Amino acid sequence: MPPRPAATARERAPRRPGAPKRADRVRREDIVVFATPLFAERGYDGVSMSDVAGSVGIRKASLFHHFAGKEEIYAAVLAALVAEVADVLDLARLGDAPYGARFDGLTRAITELLGRRRHVARLLIREALDDGPAMRGVLGDAVQGVLELATDFTREGQRAGYVDASLDARHVVMSMVGVHFLPFAIDSVTGRYVGASPFDPDHVESRVREVTRQARNLVRPVPRDP
């Protein structure tokens, strides 16, 4: 039997309080993984460096081997989430399949990402609403870049005849942001309304089916009367 692969940072549970890891064994990526749910649940102001250190299982002073402060950790968390969304978009944008198949694939991939990574939607929407320092800096440029790529992808669909050419591509993208992200960002509201957690695998799969049809209907050219 082949040896079992080593667990990833996401798969490893935090060490118990009082059993810190050596600072030189902790990677920046580990800290980002453990800090992400803290910021998602409590917001930037509700998380301290001590909270992050306790989640990782190291002393607070050890965090400064990797980050200058809480703001830098928060920016790294958000940047990692934006990068995940950008990776999903690139898979569809740069694929070889016909546009319609790539459009549906993007819908599925984004929905599955948001359903699997429960903190992505909430953190990005929260930061966009607050328009905090991170969003006004490099992170804002990264988000703008992702939106521009999505706009280019929409315009490619217009040239291919799949997306209604009369639609404003930028408005299409912003509508898609709402369709995809909001139900996962307001997960408690969604859960009460639909009777299941939006992160439940069965719900995610049904969401993929429904959003795929809705997204197609949102962008497809409207048949004209002869």
| pLDDT value at residue 194 | 93
| Mean pLDDT, residues 110-132 taken together | 88
Between helix 169-185 and helix 120-130 the angle, nearest 10°, is: 120
Would you say residue 225 has pLDDT above 80? no
Residue 208 pLDDT class (50, 70, 90 cuts): very high
Q: Which of 16-25, 57-66, 144-153 has the lowest mean pLDDT?
A: 16-25
pLDDT of residue 101: 95
88/171 Cα distance (integer angstroms): 20
pLDDT at 174: 96
Section 107-113 average pLDDT: 95
Number of H helices and E strands in the chain, helices first, is 10, 0
With a cut of 90, say whether residue 111 has pLDDT above it.
yes
Answer yes or no: is pLDDT of 23 > 50.
no
| pLDDT band per the 50, 70, 90 thresholds, residue 17 | very low
What are the b/e assignments for 180-219, b being 16+ CB within 10 Å?
A: bbebbbebeebbeeeeebbbeeebbeebbeebbeebeeeb
Percent of the chain with pLDDT over 70: 88
Q: What is the pLDDT at residue 115?
A: 94
How high does pLDDT run on average in the chain? 85
User: Helix axis angle, 169-185 relative to 138-160, nearest 10°?
Assistant: 120
DSSP 163: S
First to last CA, the chain: 66
CB 207 within 8 A of CB 217: no
pLDDT the model gives residue 224: 60
Query: Which whole number is the average pLDDT over 60-80?
Result: 88
The answer on pLDDT for 19 being more than 70 is no
**pTM (two decimals):** 0.78
pLDDT at 11: 39
Mean pLDDT of the region 118-147: 85
Mean pLDDT throughout 52-74?
88
- Does an H or E element contain 134, and which? none
The pLDDT, as a whole number, for residue 2 is: 44
